[in-house]
Structures are given as structure tokens and as C-alpha cells.
Amino acid sequence: MHIIILSTLFGFLNTWSPSYKIKKSRRHDFPALNPITRTRTGVLYHMKKEKYIYERKTKKGSPYFQIQITFKDEYGQSKTFYESVQISDYESKSQAKAVAIAIRDKALYEIQTSRIIIASPTVGQLYQKMHELIPCSLSTKKKYNLLYRSGIEKFENTQISKLTTADIQKNINEYAENKSDDCIHRYIILWSKLYRVALMLGYDVVDRSKMVVIPKSKKIKEKKTVTCSQDTLNIVLDYLASYETSSKTVRHRARMIWYLIVIMNYTGMRPAEVLALNAEDITNDYISVNKSVGSSKDETAVVKTPKTAQSVRQVPIHPDLLPILKQLKQEQKTSPLLTNLDGSLITPLQRSNMITNVCEKTGIKFNLYMLRHNMATDLINMNISQRTVQDILGHASFNMSLEYARSTEEDRKKAVDSRKLS
């Protein structure tokens, strides 16, 4: 008897209550109805024709209009405007809807005009956004931070649209007082990146970094030593070969840097190219250069493609280098061959710190790129063809090879003494 009464009651509810049918049925069961959307409270409602205005019900069943507008703010961040109008607070449903429409229209106006009122983000906001939109390595980020703090930071709270060309020019001139041409160039690039980010975000700003007159450096450029003598090289190699430390890890790294320097000295390869070498890249005649070790965004070492297309090359092996390479392949079973004791890649920072330590202990001036300069100088002095020098060093142009080549004091004296004057 109870079962019969309950089944009759449920049958009546199914035919009488449309809300019950909507709740228990799937969307595709009601093709004739407007799209059904679920609110945060789980109550279903029918979308109305009025844009951004939805009729909903509370958990208790009280009807209301909700204004919901999703938009992007001046920094490209997604935000949502919410406002509700209780229908019971007004004499009629149409009156409540009219109020909802008025609220919506006001909100839309404020959203649209805010992008005009807020002409542009501040320099500080753009600098933070720059690191998100234009990712770079940790070392590059540190360089940007130094440049930013050197003078751009003074405009941190200034909207970039309010800066004039005169403002930027004065700022660059002040920075350039005691800086090199390279530093001035990088400083202007950072200003240019800030304007680029503003344009990326959709702001109609004028890139004033392109309008400035680039000041000449007043700093006297010191002539750097770009090559090293055989005596200097021997001091470095001897120190690394007998590196004194209780750390097996550091001693092993010193040994790997010793191999790195020897290979660079005979081949003129880049340090990153040598550190990426595998056993299969080395034959009895050639070293195949097809990759390099560089830094990732988190400053960890990774194997990358070569610096340029010209960097992919076959470098001949000097007869004196061949037994050293065979010794390396027997000693090291890792891939690449030159790694830390645990098999991890040697980072640019680790190799730099090792060379710095050697220079401090020995009192000499030395860096790895001196070996490439030595190679370029020797080849050009031997009257090797331009194309051959370029191919061996992996330069994009012969001009780069010429930049690497430096005459020695002995060469210059010999050239002057050899003049025949009548």
C-alpha cells in the first residue's frame, strides 16, 4: 500500500514540477530551452537575453539578478565583476531588471574608461612584467637588475607614458658619465625592452628610447691583454695538475679544466664546445663540433645547439693532441667526457671560478678565450687563407677572426725594423 502511494506521489511530481525535471535531467534532454548554467550554489537557471545579466536563485529559492562581467585589467590579468540585485527588493521583476541593467552599463563604462584613465603602468610594474614576458637566464637577469638599479629605478613609480624624451635622454646621459660604450648600449636596450613590454600589453605608448642621442663614453678604455704567452699557459697547467685541496670533487674538476685548456690550446675551440664533447665526436683525425654547454634559465648547465650555424664544423687534430685525447677517453667514461666527479655538467660559473682561483693564487692574467685569440693570431701570421681561419674557429665572418688576432710587441718591432728607407 505504501509503495503504491509513494509511486503515485513521485509520478505526480514528475508531471507537475518542471524544476524537478530540469535538476534530474541532462542538458541535451532539453534542446528547446535556453542554455543552462550552474551557479556556485549549484542552482540551475536560464540565461536571459540581456548580456552579462543572469537570473538565478539562492539556496532558499529567492530569485535575483546577477551581473557578471569577466575582463582583463591594464596588466592583462583576468578579473570578474560581480553584483546582484534581489528581485524581492523591488515592486516588480522588470523594475529589478532595469536596475541590474543600469549597474551593468555603469560597470562596463568604468571597465572601458579605466584603460584610458590608467594611461600606462609604471616603470616598476613594467620591469616586473618584463621578466614574465621575456624570460632570460639567471645571469642575464642579474645584469638587468644592476642596470635597473643604476638609474632606471628612480622612475619606478612613474607611469611610462608620462616620461618625455628629454627625461630618458637626461637619465641616459647621467648613467653614461663613467660607463663604457658597451654598458651604455645595454642600458638603452633595457629602456627599449620596457617600452616593448608596454606595447605587448596593448598600450599606445611612444618608444622614446629610439629617439635619444646615444652619448659617447668618457671612460678611457683600458687595453686588455687578449693573448697569453707559453710561459703563462705553462703556469696555469702546472697549477691545475697539482691542485692542492682535500676535496676530491674540486681536484677532479681541476683535472677536467686542465684537459679543457689543453684541447682549446691545440684547436681554438670555444670552452662550451669542448665541455660538450662525447667520445664518439673524436676520431684519429678530426673533432666533430656539433653542440655546446650553456646555462639554462635557472643557471644549471645544459647541452645546447652551437652558437651559430658556422660553429658546426670538423676541427683537425694536432698530432701532439691525439695521445692526450686517447688518455682522456680511457680516463673518462662519462658523456660528455669532461664532467664533474658525479657525472654532472661543468657549469660556466664552475669553470670561471676555477680559472679565477688559479689567477689569484699565481698572480697572472689569464682567461680561456686567450687561447682562441692565440689560435687566430698564429693562423693569420702564418698566412693561412681567410676562409680556413674562419672555418677552424667557427666564426660567422672573417672579420670576427681578425678581431681575435693580435700582434705581439715582437711582431710590431720586427715590422718597423724591416722597413727599408732610402
Digitized pLDDT (tens) for each residue of the chain, 422 residues in all? 444 444 443 444 344 333 333 233 333 332 333 333 333 443 334 444 789 999 998 878 889 998 988 887 666 666 778 888 999 999 999 999 999 999 999 888 888 776 534 446 889 989 999 998 998 877 788 899 999 999 999 999 898 988 999 999 999 999 998 888 889 999 999 999 999 999 988 887 899 999 999 998 876 666 566 788 999 999 999 999 999 888 999 999 999 999 999 999 999 999 999 999 999 999 999 999 999 887 765 567 788 887 678 889 999 999 999 999 999 999 998 989 999 999 999 988 899 999 999 999 999 999 998 999 888 888 888 888 888 888 888 877 666 555 555 555 565 556 555 555 65
Q: Residue 159 has which C-alpha cell?
A: 607611469
pLDDT of residue 117: 40
Residues 150 and 183 in one domain: yes
Q: Residue 378 has which C-alpha cell?
A: 698564429
pLDDT of residue 184: 93
Residues 362 and 280 in one domain: yes
Q: Which long-range contacts (CB under 8 A, 24 or more apart) does 335-338 make?
A: 335/278, 335/279, 336/275, 336/276, 336/277, 336/278, 336/293, 336/303, 337/259, 337/277, 337/278, 337/279, 338/256, 338/259, 338/260, 338/274, 338/275, 338/277
For residue 83, tell me if it sits in a domain: yes
Domain boundary residue among 72, 102, 117?
A: 117
Residues of the domain holding 79: 34-117
| Pairwise CA distance, residues 251 & 242, whole Å | 9
Tell me if residue 306 falls in helix, strand or coil. Answer: coil
Residues 351 and 269 in one domain: yes
Phi, psi at 58, each rounded to 5°: -75, 175
- CATH number of the domain residue 129 falls in: 1.10.150.130
Among residues 359, 372, 379, the alpha carbon closest in space to that of 232 is found at 359
Phi-psi region of 343 (alpha: psi -120 to 50; beta: other; left: phi over 0): left
Q: Hey, what amino acid is at 418?
A: S
| Pairwise CA distance, residues 369 & 375, whole Å | 10
| Pairwise CA distance, residues 190 & 207, whole Å | 12
pTM, entire model: 0.56
CB 255 within 8 A of CB 324: no
Residues 168 and 195 in one domain: yes
- CATH number of the domain residue 333 falls in: 1.10.443.10
Residues 16 and 93 in one domain: no
Phi, psi at 159, each rounded to 5°: -65, 135
Residues 175 and 273 in one domain: no
CB 363 within 8 A of CB 378: no
For residue 422, tell me if it sits in a domain: no
| Pairwise CA distance, residues 63 & 124, whole Å | 46
Residues 187 and 242 in one domain: no
> CA-CA distances (angstroms) from residue 231 to 238, 244, 267, 381?
11, 21, 19, 20
Which string of b and e fits 394-408 if b means at least 16 CB within 10 Å? bbeebebbeebbbee
| Pairwise CA distance, residues 5 & 19, whole Å | 22
**310 class by beta-carbon count within 10 Å (0-12 exposed, 13-18 middle, 19+ buried):** middle
For residue 3, tell me if it sits in a domain: yes
pLDDT of residue 226: 79
pLDDT of residue 298: 58
How many distinct structural domains can be found in the chain? 4
